[in-house]
Structure 1
Amino acid sequence: MIADVLRPNLEVIPAGTELWRVHNSRYRPGQFNPTLADIHFNGGRFEGTVLDPYHSLYLAHSRLTAVAESVLRSTPYGLGGKRVIPYAAVHGRSLSMLRTTCELTVVSLVHEKDLAAVQQNADLLDGEHSYAKARRWASEIRAQAPDAMGLVWQSRRNRPENVLVLFHDRFDDRHGRALEVVPDQGIADLGSREGVKELNLLLDPLWAEVSRPLDR
């Protein structure tokens, strides 16, 4: 049941902040993902649905966190101690850096007091079987925080760094100019020989590596 009144805590991300994103290579680095989640089952934790059809853009404050959030979902440790990421998880994907060109106001879910302000707890962020509930709650937060352009919370896969999601419909008056691409900073093809090599160096502190196909 959704509460009648929430009191979301707002945070301002300054102009000039550099953020990282892993995305399908078919998308431009700053393009919002138009895919909508299923109301009850499939889809990301904070993606829009047919009941609240916003497009989403997930970002992180470091490239390691962006990569970890993308490829370390439910990846177990192997016999050798490392987590082995299937090559398919990086094939056809890119890592890009974006920079904010204006202040972004987002709802903070980083601290326990922030979760309490929206009458939630860590299950909203950590629960593996409550994505549908998280999407419904995100819609209610959006409704009660009309100035919020997204949400920010602590990464589950590279604590204590933060990750965020932005809502495309809160950027209409900026005509897509709130984020600019920082050239020559990312990895254009994560599935290339050099891309996999660079990824594995990046992921080594988290005891993870991408498996290489036999032909690479």
Structure 2
Amino acid sequence: MSGFFPMIDLELRPNRQVIPAGTELWRVHQSTYAPDQFNPKLADIHFDGGRFEGTVLDPYHSLYLADSALTALAESVLRSRPFELPRGRRTIPFRTIWRRSLSALRTRYELNLVSLVDGKDLAAVCQDSTLLEDESNYAKARRWSSEIRAQAPDAMGLVWESRRNRSQLAMVLFHDRFGHGDGPPLEVLGDRGIADLGSQEGRKRANEILEPLRAEISEPVWP
């Protein structure tokens, strides 16, 4: 920890969810990153950045995961995508998946995560559903992630219900919680993913996965 947190007087009592060893998880990531590589990018304290990314005040690297290929894709590409008339389908711009990959991984050992899955979990950290659903205030979510980390120093990350594939799970891992002698937390399942979502075959396979959510990636339009 940076020493800047905690910054509140509220006592959090985080609930935990353990992801068992051997669990298959999925991730969409920039193709320049290895499938099991934590994202070293830090978010701006007030503006740009992911919901639960580290900042200069709490500089942890993050790795977002989901419980299925469909959830991983939905969390990555379905934000603010409306159902379009008249077909009632959602079109995902090709640029959203350009130079990105879908990777399958397996946990090497148990992951001890703070649960934000339901109302009682959120109340346990003095929050409600706006922590996960407010698209306009990621800075607050990042701030609260750091508070949770400060008051749950053994937690390896957070887990919550996916907003874009309800009842399924999304999660984030914190790189600085894996410095023990058990090695990296994830094993890459190289034969399961889609190395290039922007390729013709990659886009075809991704659209097959997204079909239950009535969504499809558009064809590329080159200048």
Range class of TM-score, shorter chain:
over 0.9
Shift of 1:200: 1.0
Shift of 1:149: 0.2
Give the letter for the 1:70 counterpart: S
Shift of 1:114: 0.4
Q: Any stretches of 5+ residues in structure 2 without a counterpart?
A: 1-6
Cα distance in 1 for residues equivalent to 2:182 and 2:174: 13
**Is the CA contact 1:2–1:137 (under 8 Å) kept in the aligned structure 2?**
no
Using the size of structure 1 for normalisation, the TM-score is 0.96
Distance 1:201-1:119 versus aligned 2 partners, 3 A rule: same
Using the size of structure 2 for normalisation, the TM-score is 0.93
Shift of 1:82: 1.0
What residue in structure 2 maps to residue 198 of structure 1? 205
1:122 to 121, 129, 133: 129
What residue in structure 1 maps to residue 3 of structure 2? none
Shift of 1:35: 0.7
Confirm whether residue 65 of structure 1 aligns to residue 71 of structure 2: yes
What residue in structure 1 maps to residue 102 of structure 2? 95
Q: What percentage of aligned pairs have identical amino acids?
A: 68
Cα deviation per residue 1:155-211 (whole Å; 9 max; x = unaligned)?
000011011000000011247522110120000110000011111111111111100
Give the letter for the 1:100 counterpart: T
What residue in structure 2 maps to residue 136 of structure 1? 143
Q: What SS does structure 2 have at the residue aligned with 1:23? A: strand
Shift of 1:27: 0.2
Cα distance in 2 for residues equivalent to 1:54 and 1:175: 19
Q: Which moved more, 1:198-207 or 1:147-156?
A: 198-207
What residue in structure 1 maps to residue 26 of structure 2? 20
What residue in structure 2 maps to residue 172 of structure 1? 179
What is the number of residues matched between the two proteins?
Answer: 215
Taking only aligned residues, the RMSD between alpha carbons, in angstroms, comes to 1.3
Q: Any stretches of 5+ residues in structure 1 without a counterpart?
A: none
What residue in structure 2 maps to residue 110 of structure 1? 117
